[in-house]
Chain A
Amino acid sequence: KQEVTQIPAALSVPEGENLVLNCSFTDSAIYNLQWFRQDPGKGLTSLLLIQSSQREQTSGRLNASLDKSSGRSTLYIAASQPGDSATYLCAPYTGTASKLTFGTGTRLQVTL
């Protein structure tokens, strides 16, 4: 059974800092991994999807990397802004029952 861990559980940084969010998973036989953002009381917004054959995926100030063999992915946020404050979740997909397995997320607060 796939287990997903996200560290840290919460993070507070001043505006402008570059930061890294970590995601580790136990079953490395994944097809892809998605990173999502969730604002309080809202649904999830897909940020990046990395296919198993890729090492990195970039969108604006976001960069996600994937090391499948070691069961790790990182989300790098450059020049953080208060609007980046949200919970970030990762979800690897192993092809079982067409489901993603979600981590519990990292709650990020970017302060002025």
Chain B
Amino acid sequence: DGGITQSPKYLFRKEGQNVTLSCEQNLNHDAMYWYRQDPGQGLRLIYYSQIVNDFQKGDIAEGYSVSREKKESFPLTVTSAQKNPTAFYLCASSAAGVTYNSPLHFGNGTRLTVT
């Protein structure tokens, strides 16, 4: 079945450590996105990529980094510079940019806890 796989489901890290969240899709989608979800808030965009080797900052990119070396993969690194990293992280993809009326497909998320 085609879909988006995020791993791990739960991740625990000590403060000051960098951590990388994995996102892989086999939908052959061009565009991929990372969102952060906090209780009582809407999803907020961290980074997005519309094509391999290119990505743009979203609303809350500070303290995060990404790469897009392959079409199917879009890993997110949460660095020690992110002041409040504990959150639920969601990866999504779409066949083309949202401009082209392509619905978003989401993975099942990674819950990151930093202590």
Contact = CB atoms under 8 A, between A and B. Distances in A.
Sorting the interface of chain A by its residue count into under 10, 10 to 19, 20 to 34 or 35 or more gives 20 to 34
Given A32-B101, A43-B90, A46-B105, A97 B56 contact: yes
A75 to B, nearest CB: 15
Contacts of A46: 103-106
Interface string B94-115: 0001110101111111010000
Contacts of B108: 42-43
B106 A104 contact: no
Given A32-B101, A101-B42, 16 more contacts: A31-B98, A31-B101, A42-B108, A43-B4, A43-B92, A44-B92, A46-B105, A51-B101, A98-B56, A98-B97, A98-B99, A99-B59, A100-B43, A100-B98, A103-B42, A104-B40
Interface residues of B, number: 28
A93 B58 CA distance: 14
B106 to A, nearest CB: 4
A26 interface: no
A46 B98 CA distance: 13
Contacts of B56: 97-98
B25 interface: no
A103 B56 CA distance: 22
Contacts of B92: 43-44
